[in-house]
Amino acid sequence: MESRRFLAFSPSGFHHVAYTQWGDPDNPRVVFCVHGLTRNGRDFDFLAGALERDYRVICPDVIGRGKSDWLTNKADYGYPLYVSQMAALIAHIGVEEIHWVGTSMGGLIGMFLAGLPGTPIRRLVMNDIGPFLPKASLERLAQYVGKDPAFDTFEQLEAHVRIISAPFGPLTDAQWRHLATHCSYVDSAGKYRFAYDPAIGEPFKAEQQDINLEPMWNAVRCPVLVIRGKESDLLLPETLEKMKSRPNTEAVEIEGTGHAPMFMNSDQIEIVRSFLNRN
């Protein structure tokens, strides 16, 4: 595992986007693993560790998250920039074909890229996300996205992570600690905070409504695996059924999880690996 970064561009100017690289850097078989809204690339450590024997695995911190820079113009946060910067990262590492594993926001970025003419994406895993985003789940996200709580101790922060991230499903103490460690930092006052720019929540302050992205979904041509947490409120059962009607689309539901499965146990990892390894 190696931590790296590259110089990216937004309307605000230049800044750095961080990513973690696993496996042989000369391996032409590449998998991108892209995280959810408030998370970061270290969420995929367990999956990347299992894939690195066969692939070069790239796990970026989308701008404003993890070890990537925060934008000076907060209005630039949004999918147009996220998509363009991930395209720039693909070009930066010098490959023309990749597989894509995306959780929630990362799945939507992958869907947008996979639907473009000449896309480099050959296989797409969409983890607990689809082209229909219900208003109720967006309102739930708005309750905590963009908040900036401060904690006196790491233990307090971890306890909070366990509460707000309970839909991740049953995880071990070590796994919860891993997630809490890599989604936090200590500020200049010695307080523990979440490692993302609170301004990424600005779009959620607008009035929420259902979002339908079916034209983008219908443009995707590569094989797709859709994974749904059985108790998810973001990827609804009826949305999953509609997605399964698309050619070259298969689906798996994970018992005991909501939004979203974390690919930290061997069963979930094997679901992804077996799909990516098909010819």
Q: Any idea what the CATH number is for the domain that residue 118 is in?
A: 3.40.50.1820
pLDDT for res 12: 86
For residue 143, with 0-12 CB atoms within 10 Å meaning exposed, 13-18 middle and 19 or more buried, which class applies? exposed
Residues 211 and 130 sit within 8 Å (Cβ to Cβ): no
Q: Is the per-residue pLDDT at 144 higher than 80?
A: no
138 confidence band (pLDDT: 50, 70, 90): confident
Please report whether residue 190 resides in a domain.
no
Query: Which residue range forms the structural domain that includes residue 220?
Result: 2-134+212-276
pLDDT for 102: 98
Does residue 197 fall inside a structural domain? Answer: no
Q: In which region does residue 221 sit, left (phi positive, over 0), alpha (psi from -120 to 50) or beta (all else)?
A: alpha
CA distance 107 to 123: 12
The structure tokens 């908040």 sit at 147
What mean pLDDT, rounded, does the chain reach?
Answer: 96
Give the pLDDT mean for 44-66. 98
Quote the pLDDT of residue 170: 96
Has residue 143 got a pLDDT over 90?
A: no
Cβ atoms within 10 A of the Cβ of 164, count? 14
Average pLDDT over residues 220-237: 97
- pTM: predicted TM-score of the whole model, two decimal places: 0.97
Does residue 207 carry a pLDDT above 70? no
Classify residue 58: in a domain, yes or no. Answer: yes
Question: Is 90 exceeded by the pLDDT of residue 73?
Answer: yes
Question: Kindly report the CA angle at 201 between 141 and 149, in degrees rounded to 5?
Answer: 85
Backbone angles phi, psi at 239, to 5 degrees: -65, -40
In a domain, residue 172? The reply is no
In a domain, 234, yes or no: yes
Number of structural domains in the chain: 1
Q: In the chain, what percentage of residues exceed pLDDT 90?
A: 91
Mean pLDDT is lowest, of 176-185, 186-195, 198-207, for: 198-207
